[in-house]
Chains A and B, each alone.
Chain A
Amino acid sequence: MRYAAHRLAQAVPVFFATTFVIYAMVFVLPGDPILALAGDKPVPDQVLDVMREHYHLGDPLLVQYGRYMLGLLHGDLGETFTGQPVSELLQDRWGVTAQLATTAWIFELAVGVGLGVVAGVRKGGIADTAVLAGTTFVIAAPVFVVGYTAQIVLGLNLGLFPTAGTDEGWPGSYLLPGMVLGSFGLAYVARLTRTALVENLRSDYVRTATAKGLRRRRVVGLHALRNSLIPVVTFLGVDFGNLMAGAVVTEGIFNLPGIGQQVFQSIQLQEGPVVVGVTTVLVMIFIVANLAVDLLYGLLDPRIRRARA
């Protein structure tokens, strides 16, 4: 419990500092959003003043940031420069991205750990070599290359999956994009599982378990694998935040109307409030996921739990 409190106390300042850095990046950098709104047309000075007053653009940065954070407490993400509340704009889009990220995450977890075990139990075997080569390749290929290739081959040529849009709903429309988004993490999970399993299978407690006459399946599944999953859990926890943020590219390729697409458009239109809103929520997810991972350690490994108490 003391450990949990300590970690929480560390996470809070990190949250404020990170969101402040993002806030500052978005609002201090050059470019006047009000002028951008008007395009090439000249803007009368009165209009500029009224707009700047309304959006508090004249206040010092810290005051603006403080006001924003107070609003956030009430679930208010601010409003766009065209007067629409950001939370309303994003309402329908969170679902799409959350479904996409979850699909990718499940895919990483199930297939990644599975491949890692298949490779790890027989180090140097055919399956091991194939998994190592395959995952290196997936890690090396940029996500948009994987995405387009999958779209052409699996979607267009073979017709196994819908190529774009969300018409078929979950899971149909999200399977292929989820696989593409999760491919990078999947390769990492497989390699982490394999390496940890190989190391653990050589340890004394596994030899003891084998010597006691336990079946191989039980030795690997219960004894070795449980200890091997600690680095995997770390990665999966951190990766959920990455998946939500990495969705920008995947949503673009498969034309999914999620937050990634929205935030990318908003950055180019200099819609600062939307960018800050989305990024703030993403940072929150990221920090909470990290925290959850740290607390999960204790459950997985009693040694860590006791060392911290």
Chain B
Amino acid sequence: MRKAVFTYWNPKSDAAGYRNLDELAATLALSLEYAKKHFNIVELCTDQEGYELLVKKYNLQFDMNVIRLNKLNKTLSPDLWAMAKIYSCSLQNGPFVHIDNDFILWQKLPDTIANAPLYFQSQDFPHRAAQYDKMIEIEGKNTPAVILKNHSTTSWNFGIMGFNDISLIKEWKQAADQYLSKIAGDVNPLRQTAMVNMFMEQYFLACLINRNKLKVETLAADLDKISNPETAFTHLWGDCKKNPDYIERVKSRLLKEFPKQYNHIFKTDKIPV
């Protein structure tokens, strides 16, 4: 049984890095429809608002809609998207793949990757190590001991995260919870929300992987060749989501291959050419 999970938690109701919500929905629709080709079950983990938007308004048809993120709305700063992702992963009780809404997996994963205990998109930029060193300098007193003891100089990009081994996830969430509770009353002008998210998401998990000496597979071996990786995926990271050319190509693919979804999102009646 192969399962894919998407997380949507956007209490600010903004465009979540895209130019608008229609374009977010189009990208997610394409990602979802391709995930349904490769996985037996595709789940959406969201809050009530996300369910109303993605399922009711945009008619995105996941196999399962799990509305479990409402509790975060009361306890978590709306900018801490990484925690929603970690929380969503912690709800899983068997092997799964987490796919970001800006990540499209075009082909089935090769067995060498799909059967690995852990697999991620790629290693992340080498400069992350300097950023996490700085975070330790700023946040050392707030960082759980298990993270500090197992410092990792490697980190991965988590556009896609495959967990056949889920043993670290509960501890990952626990470390993130502990860190957030420490910084709640500790004002620091050098603290940047973007780095807090990446620190919890990338660095904490990397340290736990380091401690357990787990082997990690990646879909793309080399960041220099990431425009055309050997495994078939596209990741509209960062401002790529706002790039009109990239988004037009996403929309064209959606119209061509899944016209019903395209027409529902954009309220049109187009026929693919």
Do A and B associate with each other?
A: no
Which A residues lie at the B interface, using CB under 8 A? none
